[in-house]
Amino acid sequence: MGQRHVLVVDDDPLILEVLRTVLDLEEFRVTTATDGEEGLALLAQDRPDVLVCDVMMPGLDGFEVCRRVKADPATARLPVVLLTARDRAEDKRAGEEAGCDAYLTKPFSPLYLIDVITEVRSGATAPGGTAPDPTAPGGAARP
């Protein structure tokens, strides 16, 4: 089995650098993009095992990136983790409707994100993003 490959799409260079560093330490191969269009172009060139995508970006937002990934038969089974500061119930519902496999809100634990990436890669989380919230009492599930 080859090295695990994650594509991270975020317009914040600091988030990209933190995620690249943490994922590199866990021996993931990391590709980064700074917007949705670039992310989709990279996805077409070199298919990752998991896509981690910010929601609020200029141009194509993360919801639209997720919808396009899930609508394309060639990428429909690719796990998508949405990582965002948007934590309202309607935002989480929009992520679920877009087809995300997990929805995590910022601030986040990079180590927890690694656990979520591993889970969605193995199919351990239900579609719609029912990853547990490590900050909630008892690790309650996020819709």
pLDDT score, position 86: 87
With a CB cutoff of 8 Å and minimum separation 6, the contacts of 126 are none
With a CB cutoff of 8 Å and minimum separation 6, the contacts of 15 are 54, 83, 106
Max CA distance (Å), the chain? 41
> How far does Cα 126 stand from its chain's mean position?
14
DSSP state of 137: G
pTM of this structure = 0.84
Ordered structural domains, the chain, with CATH: 5-123 (3.40.50.2300)
Higher local confidence (pLDDT), 81 or 128: 81
Residue labelled with tokens 């990752």: 48
Give the model confidence (pLDDT) of 11-53 as tens digits: 999 999 999 999 999 999 999 999 999 999 999 999 999 999 9
